[in-house]
Structure 1
Amino acid sequence: MSFGICFVSSCLPCSIVACRRGVRFIVFSGAFSGYATSRAFITQIKQVQRHCSCQSFNHSSKENSYISLSNENSRRKILLFFLSTTALFPTRRSSAKTKNKNPYDERRLLEQNKRRQKENNAPDDFPSFVREGFEVKVITPESYVKRDSGLIYWDIEVGNGDCPKDGQQVIFHYVGYNESGRRIDSTYLQGSPARIRVGTNALVPGFEEGIRGMRPGGKRRIIIPPELGPPVGPSTFFSSKQFEVFDVELLSVQDCQRRTIGFYSDIVCS
Structure 2
Amino acid sequence: MKLKFPLIAAFVAMLTLTACGGGSDSSDRIAVSSPATLTKTDNTVGTGAEAVTGKSVTVDYTLWLYNDKAADFKGTRLESGPYTFTIGSTNTIQGFQQGVLGMKVGGKRTILVPASLGYGASGSNAVPPNSGLVFELVLKSVK
Q: How does 1:170-209 map to 2 (within 5 A)?
A: 170-180=57-67, 181-187=75-81, 193-209=82-98
Residue number among 110, 117, 121 corresponding to 1:221 in the alignment: 110
Task: Read off the aligned partner of 2:94 and give its amino acid letter.
Answer: P
After TM superposition, the score normalised by the length of structure 2 is 0.65
Task: Read off the aligned partner of 2:138 and give its amino acid letter.
Answer: E
Q: Distance in 1 between matches of 2:66 and 2:119?
A: 15
Instruction: Report whether the alignment pairs 1:212 with 2:101.
Output: yes
- Once the two structures are TM-superposed, the CA of residue 201 in structure 1 deviates from its matched residue by 1.5
Report what 1:14 is aligned to: none
Kindly report structure 1 stretches of 4+ aligned residues shifted beyond 6 Å. Answer: none
Task: Read off the aligned partner of 1:162 and give its amino acid letter.
Answer: A
Conservation of the 8 A alpha-carbon contact between 2:65 and 2:133 = yes
Conservation of the 8 A alpha-carbon contact between 1:232 and 1:238 = no
Q: Distance in 2 between matches of 1:216 and 1:235?
A: 29
Q: Distance in 2 between matches of 1:223 and 1:162?
A: 23
Task: Read off the aligned partner of 1:156 and give its amino acid letter.
Answer: N
Q: Which has the larger radius of gyration?
A: 1
Residue number among 49, 54, 68 corresponding to 1:162 in the alignment: 49
Q: Distance in 1 between matches of 2:57 and 2:127?
A: 24
1:184 is paired with a residue whose SS is strand
- Once the two structures are TM-superposed, the CA of residue 195 in structure 1 deviates from its matched residue by 1.1
Report what 1:239 is aligned to: 128
Aligned residue pair count: 107
2:66 is paired with a residue whose SS is coil
Q: Distance in 2 between matches of 1:231 and 1:173?
A: 24
More strand by share: 2
After TM superposition, the score normalised by the length of structure 1 is 0.36
User: Aligned in 2, Cα 1:153/1:235: closer, same or farther, shift over 3 Å?
Assistant: closer
CA RMSD of aligned residues (A): 2.5
